[in-house]
Amino acid sequence: MGGKSKSSNATTTTNVSGQNAISGDNLGTAISGVNNSTINVTATDHGAIDKAFALGGELINQTGEIFDSAIGFAGQVNKDSMQFAGKALDNIASSNSENLQMLAGLSGSQSKQNTDNLNAIMDLAKFKQDGGASNNRQQQLLLLVVIVIVLGLITMMAVKKR
């Protein structure tokens, strides 16, 4: 009994080579040679860089506005300080002026008192020097004037009656 058999064998070889390429600005990647196909891969930042630049610009603008506000505030503080100092100096000057006026008044009052005291001392010295004779002389002269006036009036009345 015998049989027949037949066998065959076939081998197929597929060469696969992969290539990786980066083109230009590193945003695109091409992979080719995988079973006769080409795969294009594109990498993106979805606008992150542009937004970062925009944010940086806004931050610079905000910093400028903050700086301007700070300068304005400092300028106003400076003006307020100068006004405060000016008013304080005015108050001190006014107070000093009032004090000087009061001292001048006290000085004038003291001067008057000193003059009165000196006059009293001089009168006492005159009285002591002549034993009060000059004072008596003044009183006698005054009495003589009064007597002359009275006699003049009596004479006038007598002349009118005649």
- Let me know: does 14 contact 35? Beta carbons within 8 Å: yes
Instruction: Considering only residues 155 and 40, tell me which one the structure prediction assigns the higher pLDDT.
Output: 155
Across 9-18, 49-58, 76-85, least confident range: 9-18
Task: Look at residue 59 in the predicted model and tell me its pLDDT.
Answer: 92
Task: Look at residue 74 in the predicted model and tell me its pLDDT.
Answer: 87
Give the span between the Cα atoms of 104 and 109, in whole angstroms: 8
pLDDT confidence band for 51 (50 / 70 / 90): very high
pTM (2 decimals)? 0.33
- Let me know: does 29 contact 19? Beta carbons within 8 Å: no
pLDDT confidence band for 62 (50 / 70 / 90): very high
The two structure tokens encoding residue 28: 């695109």
The two structure tokens encoding residue 90: 């005015």
* Domain residue ranges of the chain, discontinuous segments joined by +: 46-130, 132-162
